[in-house]
Structure 1
């Protein structure tokens, strides 16, 4: 009992008001991060449930879950299905060291976290030209309160692009513009809850913020195993209370697997049998290197599949522009549930529409695909030279891959890499139903410059070859 009490962090003083100005969830995130780093919340401590902390702070649960999700992504917290959110045991590497000899913080020189595109190549001039042109020509009526479903011009251009570029079955009437995939998931989950749904399946391992978004609206996320062929539909069928699923069939995160044709057909059969809904996360499917990009599942059955996408991986997450393509039934439900919805700024929406009209978006995708392929090839060449006995998977698309570590401790490799100025992430961070699995690192290379690849891989090899890893060379 005494140990349980020590592991609770419910009464920790959070200096929210002392954080830099910004949205409340960012201030709370900063306050929690500071409390962890300062040692006021110890490794292993359980944080209060979002409902409890929201009541204490007088805010919505969304503020809490958003802050928790960000700190999970940064490696300070960990969340497991059916358990409390806790401070990771490795969140503060110098925990337990004498205060007179604190660990020196090593600046991060190389970021190999997944999910970040090449920000150096953002088309600044063309985007500025589009914004300038739109600002000069925008109708006065468009400067008023925006349409909560998105500007009609962008919805039309998006529909045309998704039909042409992604093989989707889309009309402008079914396109809803939002500020990203998570926003789309939250809106859809609200509509699902109103329709009587209680559970939503998510891929395991998978992007942890998706399960947090499901929980935010009071639904229960159900982890479903992913193998080399993608989502296990037999495991999905076993969850008899689940009639909705979030899946990334073209490029699963973080494993990089592709949902096989047989699994795609089985997924759609399941959706028809249970009168269910498939939410397709099409987050980076444009970047495929071994074949042409794989088309959407939504194009196979537009009555049962919602297609979700955004500019986060193709242009920049800072733009906060995403979209949801919903079947008529669910499009109507989303419209009915559109309370206090804030779409992206109209000028940004129209700038993106102009970007599509001019062909700049298609050109940027093509150039990015070539750039990422060249960088991936360089990374694979360097890793084959320095870590030839370790398996690599998930490298056929996107801009991240898996490095399987055999008998190496992935968490220790992450800590050693941090001391070398290299920031990595452990695959275990994305697991939900099991605390650990075969050790692996999720290596992102989207925002890593070509020139830095050799040195980054050298430090990666040094981190992996630490004492007792079984990968040392003679």
Structure 2
């Protein structure tokens, strides 16, 4: 059998009897010209490629030398041999993309479109301070985990998640959210989005095709639930939270600790009404850790353990890129949720789970949260001052907790037009009307966690400029 390399599917049997170096250099030039070897890509070490091809190392060295002479590659010492030539194939000229439209009825891809739109300042809600990610603590925890991890633990595991993280999550929730649970109740998921998908499948299989949602409430959550087949009838929210008397379904999704996007807290009276209502509650505890000017609010799951499906994650506490969250499910739905998780992906990635468990149990996560709270308060205060200075007619909501503020305007301000005008000036924000199924006061939802105070002040001043242009 002729030796060959998986790298570019190279097979020396295709080469002429003499001139192996010419053949190899030619194949590499073609791959660079076609873009299969991108600029900045590293070629295999000469010894490695020679062994794969069954040729002398001198053949590969000579081929690389010829590519370097004509500018296709360059040697960078320990970094290896790196492609430097631009592909020879013609590239279609870039067509300037139009700025995203802020439609009154946004489509399924609206967040992707806006996320990709260039902007000088991004005030999108729900974005944590990614520069604060505790890299050093994460690396220490990862080294500690790898040092004691057995070989068997690199295999397939429990679809519910690693025992270490499920136990750590129960301890974390007991300390921070007042929830007493057993690790067997916890299913580790790839964020709240997957939790909603698993619950949607479970509810539909059980004969429930509606999950009522708060109005206004998260557009993204509605999109996920609708995609998975659940209708999402709206239930109004007032200054006490969900108006339970308007609830006419068997299941409801709520954000009781910090309602999105109004920022109100579900009052004790409304919690008791929800208990008397008697249906299934899905609790999205999306940013409950981020509170500043008020005492902690216990999770609904703590008071109604057999009635609440509780979802949380580290997306707002550490980073969305970790794609790690948890779902606590009442016993009657647990087996179905675990089955749905098993067939979705056989279980979430294990190594990040073990590292997160280490951070939770070592106290590093609490330490990180304390740092974030101090930083968020400074940034929130900078944004509220800027709103008072530049948008004196706006009303501010939700200042006591979270990663964002909501501002509302008089009824004659079209918030989708305002968001589009602000983006034209380089500032990205979300219209409040996107998050409402029924008519609501116009407004903007403005994230502050990801930017320093000076940037927030500039962003609000720019929004004021956009508002002035509309008038």
The match for 1:269 among 269, 276, 285 is 276
Give the TM-score normalised by structure 2: 0.75
Separation in 2, partners of 1:313, 1:438: 27
Q: What is the Cα deviation at residue 200 of structure 1?
A: 0.9
The 1:403–1:42 alpha-carbon spacing in structure 2 relative to 1, beyond 3 Å, is closer
What is the count of residue pairs matched by the alignment? Answer: 378
Structure 2 equivalent of residue 391 of structure 1 = 395
SS in 2 for 1:392: strand
| Larger CA deviation: 159-168 vs 386-395 | 386-395
Q: What is the Cα deviation at residue 43 of structure 1?
A: 9.8
Tell me if the contact between 1:287 and 1:293 (Cα under 8 Å) persists in the aligned partners.
no
Q: What is the Cα deviation at residue 137 of structure 1?
A: 2.0
Structure 1 equivalent of residue 176 of structure 2 = 165
Separation in 1, partners of 2:391, 2:304: 43
Deviations 1:276-330 (A, max 9, x none): 2101000101111222221101100101011110011111000000000112222
Mind listing any 5+ residue stretches in structure 1 that lack a counterpart? 1-33, 48-67, 78-90, 92-104, 469-474
For residues 66-465 of structure 1, the aligned pairs below 5 Å read 69=108, 71-74=109-112, 107-236=118-247, 239=248, 242-271=249-278, 276-342=279-345, 343-406=347-410, 407-432=412-437, 434=438, 436-465=439-468
The 1:45–1:308 alpha-carbon spacing in structure 2 relative to 1, beyond 3 Å, is closer
Q: What is the Cα deviation at residue 175 of structure 1?
A: 0.8
SS in 2 for 1:354: helix
Deviations 1:63-101 (A, max 9, x none): xxxxx64x2224679xxxxxxxxxxxxx9xxxxxxxxxx
Runs of 4+ more than 4 Å apart? 34-39, 41-47, 74-77
Separation in 2, partners of 1:457, 1:450: 11
Separation in 2, partners of 1:141, 1:452: 49
SS in 1 for 2:336: helix
Separation in 2, partners of 1:261, 1:44: 37
Tell me if the contact between 2:105 and 2:434 (Cα under 8 Å) persists in the aligned partners.
no
Structure 2 equivalent of residue 20 of structure 1 = none
Q: What is the Cα deviation at residue 38 of structure 1?
A: 7.2
Mind listing any 5+ residue stretches in structure 2 that lack a counterpart? 1-93
Separation in 2, partners of 1:374, 1:269: 40
Q: What is the Cα deviation at residue 44 of structure 1?
A: 7.9
Give the TM-score normalised by structure 1: 0.75
SS in 2 for 1:224: strand
Tell me if the contact between 1:204 and 1:431 (Cα under 8 Å) persists in the aligned partners.
yes
Tell me if the contact between 1:180 and 1:310 (Cα under 8 Å) persists in the aligned partners.
yes
SS in 1 for 2:203: helix
Separation in 2, partners of 1:259, 1:130: 37
Structure 2 equivalent of residue 29 of structure 1 = none
